[in-house]
Structure 1
Amino acid sequence: MRASSSLFLKGQIPVTNLHLRNSKFPKGILNVKMHPVMCLCNNIQTNSYEVANGSYVPTGQTKENNTKEKPSGKTESIGAFQKLPIVMPSIDILGSALRKAKKISPTKGIANIAKRERNKGAKQLDALMKELAVPLRTYVENFPKKTYLHPYERSLIELTLGDGNYEKVLGNVDALRKRIVSVGKEHASLCAKSSSKREAEERLDEGLKKIEGIFAQERKVIEDLLDIAKTLRAMPVINLETPTLCLVGAPNVGKSSLVRVLSTGKPEICNYPFTTRGILMGHIVLNYQRFQVTDTPGLLKRHDDDRNNLEKLTLAVLSHLPTAILYVHDLSGECGTSPSDQFTTFKEIKERFPEHLWLDVVSKSDLFKKAPVVYATEDDDPTQLELAKYRKSGPDGAIYVSVKTEEGLNELKCGVHELLNMQMDKINDINNKQEE
């Protein structure tokens, strides 16, 4: 569960409504409209969100009078993980609740000692119940339902946390809340019906221990939710309108090294497969324009049903995000995946995502030129001839680079900049068509 991994600011922030629910401002300024301003800030979301039925939906889809309105079936914006509520450790929730409950005094003006003790006990039990149940209810309501998330974020939840675990943990938290409420009401009622001061004290003590014991026994569900919140909040925020370059290829072909060269991203670089354990993000600034670069886990030659969750993360990025692809090939024999297998995966991905802008790069060119991996073939089949050509020189138009000798890096940067500008034009065309 601990496993790891915004549309582009076209020079301005779009008009949006800010819902300042908990502010102390006068009612007249609760809805503030922000007018377009020049901005080069990082990680700014273009849509504001508010909680509706326990889920994040754009503020334009909710009414001021809190009437329930069915959200749109399609959510275009992402960033809900950054709005997750802060989950307190279970020991802190329990400690705070016990301290507040024990400070509760009986209602003033009760002269009878037995009645005063009954009143005090019932109020303390009711307070403890609420101090434990309210945070749990807040978590359940404010963690977004998967139905309203962007498909990319839904994929992240399923692949990072495991299919169904997100809903299971939230369900367990809600079950604990219901049990706390049920037991708290029961013991508060018993305390209120006590016939003497001593009986009221005994029932108060019994109720406090019962509620505390239940919470302590099932506290793991809160720790599980805390782990989920930490994991999801650490996911990189991808702006859907910012041109994004996605590095794809087999494991250990040099994608992470190229991310470090091209962007601000600093992924781990090791000489073993699947170094990248999630989606890593970097940025490129070109002519005051910020672009995104993602490093993804490597893809192996196999059927989708046999792919691990790391590979499925890569496919989720390509399927749900408007990315341009920088496909990295290693023909030196150093990556652990044969050129033949790389060729098969390369052809599969290119056929699967024909609408993506594409640039090929052959990495580790210093090793490839010294000892190229060449396999002779006598088969006249066109596919085999294409494979033989790939083994010798890679795809047509590929850029040869070497991070070690810096060969081809300037050419690669120019090619990437041109590709990202084309991606920006593509995004603008899509937005213009949607506006029309």
Structure 2
Amino acid sequence: MISGSRIFSLIQQSWIPSPGKLSLLRPRGKEYQLSRVTLPTLHGQGVSFQYFQRNIHSAIGEVIDSGHAFVYHVGSKEKPLETLETVGAFQKLPMVMPSADILSSALRKTKNIAATKGIANIAKRERNKGAKQLDALMKELAIPLRMYVESFPKKRYLHPYEKSLIQLTFGDGSYEEVLKRVDDLRKKLLFVGKKHAALCAQSISKREAEERLSEGLKKLEEVFKLEKNAVDNLLHVAKVLRAMPVVDLKIPTLCLVGAPNVGKSSLVRILSTGKPEVCNYPFTTRGILMGHIVVNYEHFQVTDTPGLLRRHDDDRNNLEKLTLAVLEHLPTAILYVHDLTGECGISPADQFVIYKDIKGRFGDHLWLDVVSKTDLMQELPIDGILKDDGDDDDDDAIRYKEFGPDDAIWVSVKTEAGISELKSRVKDLLTSQMARIRSGNSNHSECES
């Protein structure tokens, strides 16, 4: 075993023309990591080197500065590195063909396969043709499946936000199970195809070759049809994932958070190009909606998230967990929306508890509080606003139910009261978030694992 210090010495002496570029060497198990090195793959006796450019991850999952990472393995064989993904992996998914199209295309191409030219013996020519057709059908069915399995990203290499999207959309382990079923079908097709092609190649007569060809084609078709749902399920997965909103980690994102039906979607429509469904009942937002704001030729992102209820994380539904995933894994500025009228169906007391929880967990984000539906508050008496079925309130809760959080902006989408101030404050908030991102001090690392 070559020690880390010995390897480092060898690198400095002979393999790295510009050792001044090295800034970090970290041992980790049998791997050592160097950052800020821009070199091609190198090989030495018993040691292999490989580098890749990645802004946020090293090959072993540690955070490094933007630039290049250099990873090498101690041992006699070079191990290929998996490509690590930032967000956007879902937009790179391959186009999956429906199972019926794969089968019909494979059968059509197989029929055009002829025997090798120059074979005079009829029996030999027929068994040659049969073996070639069976081999062709096997490959026409199996090769697309292999491409799908290899092209879909492994979950462990996805950005944490996209991992959460997969888990919350399909359930824990379902994504991997779909890919496994496709790969199992591929392996079964290869086994059956090779078996029947070999039998056909051993035929003694023309008739026997024809019978074995017919039997093999029928068996391959049966195997594929029996498990075709695996391919169609993968097609569904690809369509759903490809339709997920794209988040650019280099662009500031404003995330609207709050209880259900407090007016988040209405504010998104005013602030951005996003066009969410706006209805007067909870959980109208059934996923993450992405809009954009353009200010002084700069583009910013706005997300509308599903509402949060007062309950423990273990009891939350997938919509609520999706909101928490956005806050946990993406560098966002938060616009927290409050409805003190109780018209949203969630009492101000419960909203206050939810607010304290989220503020305590994500207080490192840039933050702006907004009290919505102020036109309705003007129509209600103060005692009507304060009336609540909540627990005994402390002074903070009582003050919250009457005035909202300190420094909150009071707005009304209906009367447009406070909207101009809101837009101005949002612009300042996103400008500050841009400064955070550019300085590398955003509230979240982009590469949590």
The equivalent of 2:199 in structure 1 is 190
Cα distance, 1:374 vs structure 2: 3.1
Pick the aligned partner of 2:126 from 112, 117, 123. 117
Cα distance between partner residues in 2 of 1:296 and 1:133: 41
**Structure 1 residue aligned with 2:415:** 405
Partner of 2:264: 255
Which deviations, in whole Å up to 9, do the C-alpha atoms of 1:344-367 show, x marking residues without a partner?
000000000121010000111100
Decide whether the 8 Å contact of 1:247 with 1:294 is kept in 2: yes
- Greater RCO between the two (CA within 8 Å, min separation 6)? 1
SS, match of residue 292 in structure 1: strand
Alignment partner, residue 337 of structure 1: 346
2:142 to 133, 154, 162: 133
Which secondary structure does the structure 2 equivalent of 1:348 belong to? helix
AA at the equivalent of 2:270 = V
Amino acid at match of 1:262: L
With over 3 angstroms needed to count, the CA separation of the structure-2 counterparts of 1:308 and 1:387, relative to structure 1, is same
Q: Deviations over 1:12-44 (max 9, x none)?
A: xxxxx9xxxxxxxxxxxxxxxxxxxxxxxxxxx
Amino acid at match of 1:408: G
Distance in structure 2 (CA, Å) of the matches to 1:124 and 1:409: 70
* 1:416-435 alignment, distance < 5 Å: 416-430=426-440
How far residue 375 of structure 1 moved from its aligned partner, in angstroms, is 2.9
Counterpart in the other structure of 1:375: 386
- Deviation string 1:126-165 (CA, Å, 9 cap, x unpaired) is 0000000000000000100011111111011101111100
Matches of 1:133 and 1:288, distance apart in 2: 49
> Where in structure 1 are there 5+ consecutive unaligned residues?
1-16, 18-45, 49-57
Counterparts of 1:208-219 in structure 2, within 5 Å, are: 208-219=217-228
Distance in structure 2 (CA, Å) of the matches to 1:157 and 1:313: 10
Cα distance in 2 for partners of 1:62, 1:220 equals 42
Answer with 1 or 2: which has the greater Rg: 2
Greater shift, 416-425 or 121-130, is seen at: 416-425
Kindly report which structure 2 residues correspond to 1:342-357, keeping only aligned pairs within 5 A, or say none.
342-357=351-366
For the residues of structure 1 that align with 2:122 and 2:429, how far apart are their CA atoms?
81
The Cα of 1:272 is off from its aligned counterpart by 1.1
Give 1:105's aligned residue: 114
Superposition RMSD in Å: 2.5
Q: In structure 2, what is the equivalent of residue 393 of structure 1?
A: 403
Structure 2 distance, partners of 1:408, 1:170, is: 51
Q: Distance in 1 between matches of 2:93 and 2:245?
A: 14
Contact preservation (8 Å) 1:62, 1:68:
no
Distance 1:88 1:279 in 2: 27
2:295 to 286, 291, 299: 286
Task: Provide the rounded CA distance (Å) in 2 between the counterparts of 1:323 and 1:360.
Answer: 14
Per-residue deviation, 1:255: 0.5
In structure 1, distance between residues paired with 2:204 and 2:131 = 13
Q: TM-score, normalised by structure 1?
A: 0.82
Residues 18-417 of structure 1 aligned to structure 2 (within 5 Å): 68-71=79-82, 77-371=86-380, 372=382, 373-375=384-386, 384-417=394-427
Corresponding letter in the other structure for 1:302 = R
SS in 2 for 1:328: strand
Equivalent position SS for 1:324: strand
- Whether the 8 Å contact between 2:377 and 2:385 is mirrored in structure 1 is no
**Which secondary structure does the structure 1 equivalent of 2:250 belong to?**
coil
- SS for the counterpart of 1:374 is helix
Q: Which residue of 2 aligns with 1:33?
A: none
C-alpha distance in structure 1 between counterparts of 2:122 and 2:103, whole Å: 29
Distance change >3 Å, CA 245–CA 168, structure 1 → 2: same
Distance (Å, rounded) in 2 between the aligned partners of 1:254 and 1:245: 15
Deviation at 1:427, TM superposition (A): 1.1
Q: Which runs of 5+ in 2 are unaligned?
A: 1-37, 39-53, 57-65, 72-77
CA gap of 1:250–1:376, structure 2 versus 1, over 3 A, is closer
Contact 2:341 2:385 in 1 (8 A): no
Alpha-carbon distance in structure 2 between the residues aligned to 1:409 and 1:297? 22
Q: Can you list the C-alpha shifts for 1:387-414, whole angstroms capped at 9, x where unaligned?
A: 1111111111111111111111111101
| Equivalent residue number for residue 33 of structure 2 | none
- SS at the partner of 2:337? strand
The code of the aligned residue for 1:70 comes to L
- State the one-letter code of the partner of 2:339: D
C-alpha separation between the residues in 2 aligned to 1:220 and 1:71? 29
